[in-house]
Chain A
Amino acid sequence: MKKKLLNQNKTNLFAISFFQAVSLIGLMVIFAATLSSCQKKETSTLLKIGLPEEPKSLNIWLASDSNSRKILNLIYQPLYRRDPITLKIIPWLAKEDPVFNKEELSYTVKLRQAKWSDGSEFTSEDVLFTKKLFFDFKMPRYYSKWKAIKEIKALDKHTIVFYLKKPSAIFLSRVLTAPMVSKKEWELIASKALETEKPFRSIQDHLVEKPLGTGPFTLFEYKKGAYLHMKKNPHFFGTGKKIVNLQLGPYVDSILFKIYGTSDVAILAIKKGDIDYYWWDIQPGYLEDLKKQGNIKLFLNKKSALYYLGFNLRKPPFNNLKLRQAIATLINKKFILTRILQNYGTPMHSIVPSGNHFWHNPNVEKYGHGQLPEVRIKSAYNILKNAGYTWDTPPVDEEGNIVKASDIRLPSGELMGKFVILTPPADYDPKRAFAGTMIQEWLRSMGMQAFARPMAFNSLIDAVKGKREFDAFILGYGKLNLDPDYLRAFFYSKNDRPRGWNMSGYKNPEYDTIADSQRSLIDVEKRKKLIWEMQEILIEDVPYIPLYNPHIIEAVSKDRFSGWLEKVDGIGNIWSLCMVKPNQ
Chain B
Amino acid sequence: MGNQKFIFNKLLEIFIIFFVILTLLFFLFRLSPGDPISKIVDPMLSPEDTLHMIEQLGLDEPVHTQYFIYIKNFFSGNLGHSFHYGEPVSNIIMDKLPCTILLFTTSTILAALAGVFLGKISAWKKGSGIDSFLSISALICHTLFIPWFALLLLWGLAYKVGWFPLGGIISPELWIENSSAFMKTLDVIHHMLLPLGTLFFIHLGSYLLLMRSSMLSVLREDYIITARAKGLSERIIRDKHAAKNAALPVITSVGLSLAFSINGGALTEQIFTWPGIGRELIFAVSNNDYPLAQACFLLIAAVVLIANLVVDLLYAYLDPRIRY
Please report A residues at the B interface, Cβ cutoff 8 Å: 6, 10, 14, 17, 28-29, 31-33, 35-36, 38-39, 41-42, 46, 48, 54, 56-57, 59, 62, 64-65, 138, 140-141, 143-144, 198, 200-201, 204-207, 221, 223-227, 229, 256, 258-262, 264-265, 268-269, 271-272, 274, 456-459, 461-463, 465-466, 475, 477, 480-481, 486, 489-490, 495, 497-501
Residue contact B95 to A144, C-beta cutoff 8 Å? no
Give 18 A-B contacts (CB < 8 Å), ordered by A residue.
A32-B163, A35-B186, A38-B183, A39-B171, A42-B173, A144-B48, A198-B58, A201-B56, A223-B175, A225-B99, A256-B173, A259-B168, A262-B271, A264-B151, A271-B159, A274-B165, A461-B41, A466-B34
Q: Indicate which residue in A143, A221, A226, A458 contacts B170 across the interface (CB closer than 8 Å).
A: A226
Determine whether the beta carbon of A32 is less than 8 Å from that of B190. Answer: yes
Known: A140-B53, A268-B166. A261 touches B43 (CB 8 A): no
Q: Which residues of A contact B81 (CB under 8 A)?
A: 201, 205
Contact of A272 among B32, B99, B166, B190 (CB under 8 A): B166
CB-defined contacts of A17 to chain B, threshold 8 Å: 117
Which residues of chain A come closer than 8 Å to B5, judged between CB atoms?
A: none
How many angstroms between the C-alpha atoms of A259 and B170 in the bound complex? 11
Measured CB to CB, the nearest residue on chain A to B163 is: A32
**B99: which A residues are within 8 A, CB to CB?**
225
Q: Name the residue among B43, B159, B165, B172 with the largest chain A CB count within 10 angstroms.
A: B172
Give the complex CA separation of A412 and B237 in angstroms. 87
Q: Are B187 and A35 in contact (CB under 8 A)?
A: yes
What A residues does B166 contact at CB under 8 A?
Answer: 260, 265, 268-269, 272, 274
A477 touches B39 (CB 8 A): no
CB distance from A295 to the nearest CB of B (A): 14
Contact, CB under 8 Å: A14 / B45: no
Given contacts A39-B173, A226-B172, 20 further A-B contacts (CB under 8 A): A36-B190, A38-B174, A39-B174, A62-B84, A200-B52, A200-B56, A223-B170, A224-B275, A225-B95, A226-B275, A261-B273, A261-B279, A262-B271, A265-B167, A265-B273, A458-B38, A459-B34, A461-B41, A466-B34, A498-B47
Report yes or no: B52 in contact with A140, Cβ–Cβ below 8 A.
yes
* Chain A residues in 8 Å Cβ range of B45: 140-141
Query: Of all chain A residues, which has the CB nearest B159?
Result: A268
Main DSSP-derived SS at the A contact region = mixed
Residues of B within 8 A of A204 (CB): 56, 86
Shortest Cβ distance from residue A30 to the other chain B in the assembled complex, whole angstroms:
9
A residues in contact with B190, CB < 8 Å: 31-32, 35-36
Contacts of B274 in A (CB 8 A): 261
The residues of B that contact A498 with a CB separation of less than 8 Å are 47
Q: Which residues of B are at the interface with A, using a C-beta cutoff of 8 A?
A: 32-35, 38-53, 56-58, 81, 84-87, 95-96, 99, 117, 121, 130, 151, 154-155, 158-159, 162-176, 183, 186-187, 190, 193, 233-235, 269-275, 279, 286-288
Q: Which of B130, B186, B275 contacts A54 (CB 8 A)?
A: B275
Provide the residues of chain A in CB contact with B41, threshold 8 Å: 461, 475, 477
A224: chain B residues within 8 A (beta carbon): 95, 275
In the complex, the chain B residue whose C-beta lies closest to that of A204 is: B86
Which chain A residue has the least Cβ–Cβ distance from B92? A224
A264 CA to B155 CA, complexed, in Å: 9
- Please tell me if the beta carbons of B86 and A495 are within 8 angstroms of each other in the complex: no
> What's the Cα separation between A226 and B274 when bound, in Å?
9
Shortest distance between the CB of A29 and any CB in chain B (Å):
6
**Which of B164, B176, B271 has the most CB atoms of chain A within a 10 A radius of its CB?**
B176
Which B residues are CB-close (under 8 A) to A272? Answer: 159, 162, 166
Partner pick for A144 among B33, B40, B49, CB 8 A cutoff: B49
User: Which residues of the partner chain B approach A489 to less than 8 Å between Cβ atoms?
Assistant: 43, 46
Chain B neighbourhood of A29, CB < 8 A:
163
Q: Could you say which residues of chain B place their CB within 8 Å of the CB of A6? A: 233-235
CA A458 to CA B32, docked complex, whole Å: 9
- The residue on A at minimum CB distance from B52 is A138
Interface centre among A36, A261, A463 (most CB of B within 10 A): A261
Instruction: Name the CB-closest residue of B to A21.
Output: B114
Provide the bound-state CA to CA distance between A138 and B35, in Å: 20
Q: Are B286 and A458 in contact (CB under 8 A)?
A: yes
B269 & A261 in contact (Cβ 8 Å cutoff): yes
Candidates A62, A225, A260, A466; contact of B96 at CB < 8 Å: A225
Whether A207 lies near B270 (C-beta < 8 A) is no
Assess the A457–B39 pair: CB atoms within 8 A. Answer: yes
Tell which of B162, B271, B288 touches A261, judged by Cβ atoms closer than 8 Å.
B271
Which residues in A have their C-beta under 8 angstroms from that of B287? 458
Smallest distance from the beta carbon of A235 to chain B beta carbons, Å? 22
Q: How far is the CA of A466 from the CA of B186 in the complex (A)?
A: 51
Chain B residues near A269 (CB-CB < 8 A): 166
Q: Which of B32, B87, B155, B273 contacts A260 (CB 8 A)?
A: B273
**Chain A residue nearest to B170 in the complex (CB):** A226
A51 to B57 CA separation, bound complex (whole angstroms):
29
Q: Is the CB of B85 within 8 A of A458?
A: no
B47 touches A36 (CB 8 A): no
Known pairs A258-B172, A457-B39; A143 contacts B84 (CB<8 A) = no
A177 to chain B, nearest CB (A): 11
Complex: A33 Cα to B163 Cα, angstroms: 4
User: Across the interface, which residues of B come within 8 angstroms of A42, CB to CB?
Assistant: 173
**Min C-beta distance of A339 to chain B, whole Å:** 26
Q: Of the candidates B33, B169, B270, which one forms a contact with A463 in the assembled complex, judged by CB atoms under 8 Å apart?
A: B33
The residue from B43, B47, B286 contacting A477, defined by CB atoms under 8 A apart: B43
Is B154 in contact with A265, judged by CB distance below 8 angstroms? yes
B38 contacts A461, C-beta separation under 8 Å: yes
> Which residues of B lie under 8 Å from residue A35 when comparing CB positions?
186-187, 190
Bound CA–CA A433/B99 (angstroms):
36
Among A141, A225, A457, A461, chain B packs the most CB atoms within 10 A around the CB of A225
Q: A261-B270, A462-B33 are in contact. Are A62 and B86 (CB under 8 A)?
A: yes
Nearest-neighbour CB distance to chain A for B175, whole angstroms, equals 7
Residue of B whose beta carbon sits closest to that of A35: B190
